[in-house]
Structure 1
Amino acid sequence: MAKHKFDRVTLLITHYNRSKSLEYLLKRCAEEDLEFEEVVISDDGSKPEHLAYVKQLQETYLFKLITTPVNKGLGNNINKGQDAVNTPYTLYVQEDFEPTTCFAPNFANAVKLMDEEDWDLIRFYTFPWAPFPYLKEYKYGYAEMLFKQSLWYLNHLKFRLYSDHPHLRRSNYFEKFGRYLEGERGDPTEYNMCMQFIINRGKALLFNGPDLFLHEHGAIEPNTMVRSKWKLSNSFLVSMLRTLYLKGKVVKSTIQYNKMK
């Protein structure tokens, strides 16, 4: 019997052409002695060789596999994966993350918070170079994520209450926030859900302690999402232009938010 058994929770993993990374994630969950009521892998039309490998993994890790004949994008992949969940709670993780030794006890606290309070989303990771800007310490190492609507708060990351990074949510999430946008690239899909989360008054916590997940630590495959090189440049001119762009994005997002309310 697993040391850390989480009944009423389904581990939902989205996958696309990174079967070795998926294997590493599943292996790390086993090494940390984590057990969930069910594990669902939602595949987004991976190449035959990757899909065949995932089916081999199924013999060892005993998960439910949801597939599609062609790639339909991030939104469709999460939607069909969430539709297959039958438990009250969903732990959503993309295939290029892995839990750390600190995860299990802190995740138990997250489930407790969901059981006893009315949180919609509890997040376990944010990129170290893009921390959420407005937090209020809460309990068990978690902090409440605060949305500051005023333009005085110019950090563009304030709109990122929701994130596709590992998080726990109620499995009836779609009833309050709607389904994921389909037919768009990953970034617009995620951003649209960020706006839906804010507009529908979502309440979120973020773990504000030691890392509970590592990103691409054991991955041996290239990331399937490619971003423009200018966004990653460190030159002074590009940094200045990027700063101006991001401040303009805050204004644009605020206008969009007010229109959507």
Structure 2
Amino acid sequence: MTQVADFVLQRLTEWGVKRVYGYPGDGINGLLGAFDRAQGEPEFIQTRHEEMAAFMACAHAKFTGEVGCCTATSGPGAVHLLNGLYDAKLDHQPVVAVVGQQKRLSLGAHYQQEVDLELLFADVSEFCQMIVHPGQARHVIDRAFKTALTTRGVATIIIPNDVQEEDAQPSPPKTHGSVFSSVGWSRPRVLPDPDELRKAAAVLNEGSKVAMLVGQGAAKAEAEVVEVAELLGAGVAKALLGREVLPDDLPFVTGPIGLLGSKA
């Protein structure tokens, strides 16, 4: 019989996750067994430290445009994820963390390595939920990914180790209280207010020497950035994440900071 841990990895794969960065621990023994059975789909990338796993998941999101994914055991392993997850939060990168927890039976007893993970991850996460029933796994995972993608932030899934090893319920029981969800997300189309655009254009047009600092906020607007810079004769500098807007292989960009236009 398929375990909840196997279903979790299957669902991650359906969301496009190809690799999960993490460090082993007994709080995720069920997941580690599932990784072995999954035979590389998704692949488990063992790091030297949980903190590194979270940073690698954030870097994965930055360099691929995909959701980064990391995992750690309960207690100290989970705490170690925080630095890397805050990097994702502050750089607005979609990252999903899958964290182990002690058995449900022992929660609330100050059991070994028991930490209030929902409270711990509340600030860094846009979504944080513990799976306490096998039928809950599907909608928690789906909502975590949809939240991470929509908010470009961190979503945390907590799974007690006894739940990981229970029989999976790929579809929740058809009973009152069950929640049904599916894999899939569409990027929203966000349009600025026309009056605010006119105000911004007026500010730019009144400038005599305009400089533009372009970061990830202008992602997928390369042509528009170039056009504005040429119309204004503006100098353009890239922020660290501005490579999404102005890649280094453009002819008028040199090095990590490039200049457009010649009038400024």
**Structure 1 length normalisation: TM-score?**
0.26
Bigger-Rg structure (1/2): 2
**Structure 2 length normalisation: TM-score?**
0.26
- Specify which structure has the bigger relative contact order, considering alpha-carbon pairs within 8 angstroms and separated by 6 or more residues: 1
